Structure 1
Amino acid sequence: MLRLAVTGAGGFLGWHVRVLLRVLGWPEPVVVTRADLADPERVAAKVDGADRVLHLAGVNRGEPADVSAGNVQLAAQLAQGLKHCATPPGSVVFANSVQAGNGTPYGDAKAAAAGILADTGLPVDDVLLPNLYGEHGRPFYNSAVATFCRLLAEGGQPEVHGDRELSLVHVTDAAARLVGVPAGQSWDPAMPALRIGVRDLADRLAAVAATYRSGEIPALLDRHDVRLFNTYRSHCFPAHYPLPLPRRADARGELVETVKAHGGGGQTFCSTTRPGVTRGEHFHLAKMERFVVLHGSAEISLRRVGDNEVVRFPVSGDEPVLVDMPTMWVHNLVNTGPDELVTMFWTNEVFDPGRPDTWPEPVEPPGAGQAVGGP
């Protein structure tokens, strides 16, 4: 268990690093903001004695001159702060890019930043990261995956003007590599990559969106299938939920289609819950979980890890709907009615007690902000 300090903690990669640290049970990292970086003494005060400093802050998009100057400046500011430490950190881990030194303003700036950090004399782990994708990436900034997912979630279609091969790595795997932990329940620091053309990627995500539009589950045959699907779902939440379920009725009674999966494994189970009782209070890194209340009334509450706002969905067996839990969102289910609650759950994988991918955390921790209602 290490004491870490992190620059860029509020960004896409930084958030996933902080989620992984929470899963690992490590202390919250010391956050070094851009305002801190402008003052070497403030940097030194924050990183002094840290086991490791993760330099994740960077500039990915913008005018070429701004991208170049921004990445060099951030590294130089951190280096100045490191030189003021009474007890220098054990090492610096730099979130560099496979584009480093490729002759572009961005690539050359990342290479220059690595050199600046190396000149501090501290051990530097210079990690060359490929294209990262994952939940809650910023469209038109972090990756083509985020851009395509947002367009599709809003009912649009990706436009591909030039095709090239991408090497895509899920951001949790990159976080594991930067933090320096071995392979675990749903992360792999070896950063297994999906090699795919931009056009094929757009078609693949469009097919996922078309299948999921009615709540059907696309084929989830490998880890990238699951993670691309989870990434798409993060752009659907919460606006697309709850989703009505197809119902069939005749003289014998009623049938509700709760899960239609097009491929891959899965497990279905049902539970009863007494009035006032809460189930859940956990989150998942990769596992997909579906809730369908079949009898009684309940409230499903969710909160993104690290945030305070709570999204709530009142649901009832009188009008069954599905709510799929987004990954990295803490969630629970509370029986709000006077009768026993009957709920069907579905997950995309068979439960493995040795690798449950279930991380306890209350939806409403002490100090949580005002809750907001779901649609």
Structure 2
Amino acid sequence: MKVAVTGAGGFLGWHVRVLLRALGWPEPTIITRADLADPEAVAGKLRGTERVLHLAGVNRGTPAEVALGNRAAATALAAGLRRCPEPPKSVVFANSVQAGNGTPYGDSKAQAAAILAEAGAGSQLVDVHLPHLYGEHGLPHYNSVTATFCRILADGGEPEVRQDRELRLVHVTDAAARLLDAPPSGVWDAAMPALRIGVRALADRLASFAATYRRAEIPPLLDRYDVRLFNTYRSHLFPGHYPMRLPRHADPRGELVEAVKTHGGAGQTFCSTTRPGVTRGQHFHLAKVERFVVLRGIAEITLRRVGHAEVLRFPVGGAVPVVVDMPTMWAHDITNTGADELVTLFWTDGIFDPERPDTYRETVAERSAASV
């Protein structure tokens, strides 16, 4: 399916683009803020697409800025739809459960839905009311309280809960799947399963994750919500908190290194050998927690956030064992940069399922080395 997207640079927009990459669908057509100022430009971008996801909007600002921003974005898209000779079959609007709640944000989201419904361009409006979204690389003090708590904990602080109430949390990948009408998998669920949790309980769970992970240990990951919340927290640590030093214990017999210490949940550990100059990896995960520990030899781990250009490099070696846990939605690989065989320990939070591998091919950076 050929998809067009407004608001592609935002939190939800980035996750939509990552999921499209994982699904193997064509690269989306991006309708920029500048395009929205020109109905002819919007019409040109819409030509040949089957679905347009309207994600652009304003979450924060003065009441007037929020109200005007959400109405204006919908009005601009509607004008482009009317100019398009063959408009997309469906317009999917990322609305909010707060729509029509009497606030500038909620009322303007409801008004935006009405504007799109009345566009009269022949496209079917799919009005999706999204709850509180959380996930990797959300902006603190903007996208969600989850991102705010994660950022505070990553900086060594303590989240402050001013008002405790129940939240209905949906991971942003599940929301993206719902907007795309993508079939569910073991990683995402188009039905948008929600975690119902109080603000205080959320702060306490994330703080518990942080306290355990500071020791390079894996906290209890007992269900998909634990994994998704832990991955969200880890995204606020990367890259500045890595590599993480591992505890080492020495006596006359030799040394012991605590490579993986888990506090509950499934897991799988395996080792590999890699010949000089060979690269392993070149993929990304949507949910899997994956740990690399070089036990013997020297190597370079490289990572690149999906959809971004910057490549990060971590030199690692068995002489000083360290942890680099792969962040979700970052392409990654490991290359033997030494003259001898490389021995690496890998750990993942779940037993490998070939039917649902949660592994998507993606090159990190061009190399002259062979890849496997």
2:65 matched to 1:69?
A: no
Tell me, in whole angstroms, the C-alpha distance in 2 between the residues paired with 1:327 and 1:365. Answer: 21
Tell me, in whole angstroms, the C-alpha distance in 2 between the residues paired with 1:64 and 1:87. Answer: 36
Deviation at 1:255, TM superposition (A): 0.6
Deviation at 1:185, TM superposition (A): 3.2
Instruction: Specify the code of the residue in structure 2 equivalent to 1:185.
Output: G
Instruction: Specify the code of the residue in structure 2 equivalent to 1:105.
Output: P
Tell me, in whole angstroms, the C-alpha distance in 1 between the residues paired with 2:88 and 2:341. Answer: 55
Tell me, in whole angstroms, the C-alpha distance in 2 between the residues paired with 1:186 and 1:335. Answer: 31
Structure 1: where are the runs of 5+ without partners? 367-375
Give the match for residue 7 of structure 1. Answer: 6
The alignment yields a C-alpha RMSD, in angstroms, of 0.9
Deviation at 1:64, TM superposition (A): 1.1
Deviations 1:253-291 (CA, angstroms, capped at 9, x unpaired): 111000110000000000000111100001000001000
2:131 matched to 1:130?
A: yes
Deviation at 1:51, TM superposition (A): 0.2
Tell me, in whole angstroms, the C-alpha distance in 1 between the residues paired with 2:19 and 2:269. Answer: 27
Instruction: Specify the code of the residue in structure 2 equivalent to 1:172.
Output: T
1:49 touches 1:90 (CA, 8 Å); kept in 2? no
1:76 touches 1:116 (CA, 8 Å); kept in 2? yes
Give the match for residue 86 of structure 1. Answer: 85
Q: What SS is found at the alignment partner of 2:14?
A: helix
Give the match for residue 282 of structure 1. Answer: 283
Tell me, in whole angstroms, the C-alpha distance in 1 between the residues paired with 2:254 and 2:145. Answer: 47
Q: What SS is found at the alignment partner of 1:236?
A: coil
Give the match for residue 34 of structure 1. Answer: 33
Deviation at 1:200, TM superposition (A): 1.1
Tell me, in whole angstroms, the C-alpha distance in 2 between the residues paired with 1:53 and 1:352. Answer: 33
Give the match for residue 257 of structure 1. Answer: 258
Q: What SS is found at the alignment partner of 2:280?
A: strand
Give the match for residue 370 of structure 2. Answer: none
Give the match for residue 321 of structure 1. Answer: 322
1:16 touches 1:171 (CA, 8 Å); kept in 2? yes
Give the match for residue 114 of structure 1. Answer: 113
Tell me, in whole angstroms, the C-alpha distance in 1 between the residues paired with 2:215 and 2:59. Answer: 35
Deviation at 1:365, TM superposition (A): 5.3
The alignment-based identity, stated in percent, is 72
Deviation at 1:50, TM superposition (A): 1.2
TM-score, with length taken from structure 1: 0.96
Give the match for residue 369 of structure 1. Answer: none
2:302 matched to 1:308?
A: no
Instruction: Specify the code of the residue in structure 1 equivalent to 2:295.
Output: L
Tell me, in whole angstroms, the C-alpha distance in 2 between the residues paired with 1:56 and 1:291. Answer: 36
Matched positions, count: 365
Instruction: Specify the code of the residue in structure 1 equivalent to 2:108.
Output: A
Give the match for residue 142 of structure 1. Answer: 143
Deviations 1:319-338 (CA, angstroms, capped at 9, x unpaired): 00010000000000000111
Q: What SS is found at the alignment partner of 2:175?
A: helix
Deviation at 1:49, TM superposition (A): 2.8
1:136 touches 1:235 (CA, 8 Å); kept in 2? yes
2:14 matched to 1:25?
A: no
Give the match for residue 152 of structure 2. Answer: 151
Deviation at 1:160, TM superposition (A): 1.1
